[in-house]
Amino acid sequence: MTTLREARKRKGLTQAQVADMCQMTRAHYGLVEQRRSGLRPELAARVAVVLELTLAEVLGVDAP
């Protein structure tokens, strides 16, 4: 499973850039990346689009 950090670095983005594209604070995105904070569905969808991941990958769950 790809972590959010791996996906972000693969795209050459900083936490601040991802946060800005997803309309959240850098601090909140940093906590999400560390799996210390959750995401509302609309924010999870934005992160998935920006990092080109599935929602399951963003949420850290195994897809069936």
Is the residue at 60 inside a domain?
Answer: no
- Mean pLDDT across the stretch 35-43? 93
Is the residue at 63 inside a domain?
Answer: no
Write the pLDDT tens digit of every residue in 44-54.
999 999 999 99
Total structural domains in the chain? 1
Is the residue at 12 inside a domain?
Answer: yes
Q: What are phi and psi of 14, to 5 degrees?
A: -90, 165
Is the residue at 59 inside a domain?
Answer: no
What percent of the chain shows pLDDT beyond 70?
94
Q: What domain range is 31 assigned to? A: 4-53
Cα(8)–Cα(58) distance, rounded to whole angstroms? 11
Task: State the maximum Cα–Cα separation within the chain, in Å, rounded to a whole number.
Answer: 32
Is the residue at 62 inside a domain?
Answer: no
Q: Tell me, what CATH number does 39's domain have?
A: 1.10.260.40
Exposure on the CB side of residue 47, measured as CA atoms within 13 A: 30
Is the residue at 36 inside a domain?
Answer: yes
Is the residue at 9 inside a domain?
Answer: yes
Residue partners of 21: CB distance under 8 A and separation at least 6: 46, 50
User: Both tokens of residue 61?
Assistant: 């769950």
Write the pLDDT tens digit of every residue in 52-62.
999 999 998 87
